[in-house]
Structure 1
Amino acid sequence: MKASLGFSLLEIMIGVGIVGVLIAVALPQYQDYMIRTQVTLIFSQLSGLKMVVEECLARNQMGDACENPASSSDLLANISANGQVSEGAGTPLINVNSTASSITAQFGNHAVSALTDQTLTLYKMQNNNWTCAFVGEVKYMPRGCTTSSNPSQ
């Protein structure tokens, strides 16, 4: 009798098939995970800026008088006060006024491609509560968001 010296072609093909099925199931889940992670990260960064808006309102520093201490992020597009988007790392845009203050972040070209040009905005309402608007698929909306559109409209 001859001793077996390796795997048969059938055994190798079964192994490749199993790996293929695992990849087909895992890849979409991983992509969803990456999108949720990036949205949650930016939501967390924006939430940290709520106190800046509160302080600017308390000091009556409206518009450009409110200093933006946010650090830049490769995930964000660089948006100016007039809404122009430029390449490179961006910072959230803080808009402070007495009736409707907001903190807006637009995802840039270094974010997952499904998020590019999507926006996440925190709004300070008249009743001093904060709400969130995410322009993107609802399934990626962070848990702290209560709406997927601008609540002040």
Structure 2
Amino acid sequence: MNRGQKGFTLIELMIVVAIIGILAAIAIPQYQDYIAKSQVSRVMGEVGSLRTATEMCMMNGTSEADCDFGWSGSDLLGRELNNINGNTSGLDITFNGTEAIFTATFGNNASAAISGNQLSWSRNSSGSWACGTDFEQDKYKPSGCENALAEVPEDPQDP
């Protein structure tokens, strides 16, 4: 009686494990980049949604401190910035007259690839909004946010 093979040889199993290892080595970094890009796009949308409230406050003459932005916070932003009605949020909002700047600093649950970087929305005196980031790698910059990070102008009243 001739019996057929009833399993895999060791070399066949080693080849399968090697193929899985190679695929994982390629897929995991790509997935991490995908997560980082999606987090940047999410913060861009979350912070960008505050533009409407800011426009309303500017039209009504409400000061930055008294403006109700409706911000509920984001778990992707750091905790070091503090400028939304006294709440620690990882988002700094500055507006004066017809100009405004929102600066979001990534931290907390953000991907390690983007942690510590910033994204900003800025409004100029003519009412145009622009998005910018300080990412060194273009792969993390979302579409429509290719500008440089907006800077808060120095107060001419300061000595």
Out of 49-58 and 59-68, give the one that drifted further.
59-68
Partner of residue 99, structure 2: 100
TM-score (norm 1): 0.86
Q: Which has the larger radius of gyration?
A: 2
Residue 149 of structure 1 deviates from its aligned partner by: 2.9
C-alpha RMSD over aligned residues:
1.9
State the alpha-carbon separation in 2 of the partners of residues 118 and 9 from structure 1: 48
Structure 1 runs of 4+ off > 3 angstroms? none
The answer to whether structure 1 residue 112 and structure 2 residue 114 are counterparts is no
Q: 1:77 to 1:70 in 2, by over 3 A?
A: same
Which residues of structure 1 form unaligned runs of 5+? none
Partner of residue 37, structure 2: 36
CA contact (8 A) 1:66 1:96 kept: no
Partner of residue 122, structure 2: 123
Partner of residue 148, structure 1: 148
State the alpha-carbon separation in 1 of the partners of residues 108 and 8 from structure 2: 46
Among residues 82, 94, 112, which one is paired with 1:80 in the alignment? Answer: 82
Which residues of structure 2 form unaligned runs of 5+? 154-159
State the alpha-carbon separation in 2 of the partners of residues 91 and 152 from structure 1: 16
CA contact (8 A) 1:71 1:91 kept: no
State the alpha-carbon separation in 2 of the partners of residues 20 and 140 from structure 1: 26
State percent identity of aligned pairs: 32
Residue 4 of structure 1 deviates from its aligned partner by: 1.1
TM-score (norm 2): 0.83
State the alpha-carbon separation in 1 of the partners of residues 51 and 18 from structure 2: 51
